[in-house]
Structure 1
């Protein structure tokens, strides 16, 4: 009978083996998979915006965040089950670099391609949602703009710490989804940590590649001028510290921690 899940040690090895495969795949494949991840996270982000636009006055802020996090998790479910390259999840590739299975240059090259692909996919998805005119219903436009403004006005250190906490959970979600051997297990593994980070208010770089451009597009259409909500504030005030925090959270607290526990001192397997 096939095991229903992998042990932590087996999961670490599975991630390392997967990283070795990813390091040799074609550039075009990596680009397409990273574009798909941008779309998939966008689906979750837009659904969270729709669900939370008017729930807080009715059920309270906490339950509203819980609902938003619950539906946002569809993004990582699509990434994991359907297959895509997500920058934040690829922080786990650092395990393979630490273990000598791929070079740090290969890791950096993968991250660079994937984050640019995620950005392109997220921007295109934000444009599609903008062109759909669905934002004209209810309080959706105002809510989307408020989400974007709240993110671009965070102090650098706050955005950094929220990024660390976010990707700690995202990488644990990917870790658990790798351990699961069936679809239901993978879905549950994605749901709990992702719901937790969204409900807690942590910051995810790829999600923000949808949230903030959407707010910028809507603010321009509605003639709203806000010095705290600009393309510069998107890239410099939010995306930069959040991305750095995501890297630290995923690499230090998940990749390094579990490499240290399960692989340190072992000889790398032959490629």
Structure 2
């Protein structure tokens, strides 16, 4: 499937991070909006599979479809960028300000996309409010409360727990982004990125963008969750944990593992070629 070596993957990560850091605000919002809505749709697809089969793993097997669409279409998923843009900053391709600008506007796009989908899905799953007892609606309410009030009840331990689960989540999600770069074929990219994303979803880890849909959707349907509960006990700590998982465990560690194996710069290649030619000519003259 046209396998790409790790050193070349690192180059692709840095280039992708550079391109993302230089995108304009309009593109960031639009791409973030689409990515948020698509991931929310994949989430409800996974919940539908769980509801129909009563098997949690069924949802995990299906959920990566949204991630695949986002990556193949080149949309903006802030959790994926957590692993890429810091490398571009490290290589001085973009500034910290450009990185934070990307994250801020993409998050706004995600919130808009997830909210729009939550409204439309809520209308659909409750049949325009006439069937609030629908199992899928109740699942969203229960998840919304579990992802906020569940941690709140644990106090400080709850904050630590949600951050740890967010770190583990985005370690896997960003591996999906990187794995997609290991193949030149569409089929190869899909298979490669599917595996880590399935791993995170099956274990119930915390993903910031998924939660931007699940928690407000549950609130709209009647979950007893406040905006404070949402942001303090989930959204902010999950964003922090996702950033650590993506930037450190995937981006930085992979960078350190490959930095000495990167291909020589173009100037070095030209020098080596010239040197080899000179030696060859000298040997020819001696003979």
Q: Which runs of 5+ in 1 are unaligned?
A: 57-63
In 2: Cα distance, 1:269 partner to 1:97 partner: 19
Partner residue, 1:167: 170
1:51 Cα deviation (Å)? 1.7
- Structure 1 residue 200 and structure 2 residue 191: aligned? no
Partner residue, 1:177: 180
Could you state the TM-score of these two structures normalised by the residue count of structure 1? 0.87
From 29, 33, 36, give the equivalent of 1:35. 33
- More deviation, 91-100/205-214: 91-100
Partner residue, 1:71: 62
1:147 Cα deviation (Å)? 1.3
Q: Could you report, residue by residue, the CA deviation over 1:15-63 in whole angstroms, capped at 9, with x for unpaired residues?
A: 111222223232211211111110111111111122223533xxxxxxx
- Structure 1 residue 232 and structure 2 residue 264: aligned? no
User: Contact 2:125–2:137 (CA<8 Å) still a contact in 1?
Assistant: no
Partner residue, 1:112: 104
Q: How many residues align?
A: 254
From 226, 233, 241, give the equivalent of 1:245. 241
User: Contact 2:7–2:261 (CA<8 Å) still a contact in 1?
Assistant: no
Question: Tell me, what secondary structure is at the counterpart of 2:147?
Answer: helix
Partner residue, 1:60: none
CA RMSD of aligned residues (A): 2.2
Could you state the TM-score of these two structures normalised by the residue count of structure 2? 0.82
1:187 Cα deviation (Å)? 1.4
From 116, 125, 150, give the equivalent of 1:124. 116
CA distance change for structure 1 residues 94 and 264 in 2, over 3 Å: closer, same or farther? Answer: farther
In 2: Cα distance, 1:17 partner to 1:145 partner: 41
- Structure 1 residue 82 and structure 2 residue 73: aligned? yes
Q: Which runs of 5+ in 2 are unaligned?
A: 152-157, 267-287
Computing the radius of gyration over CA atoms, which structure comes out larger, 1 or 2?
A: 2
CA distance change for structure 1 residues 49 and 77 in 2, over 3 Å: closer, same or farther? Answer: same
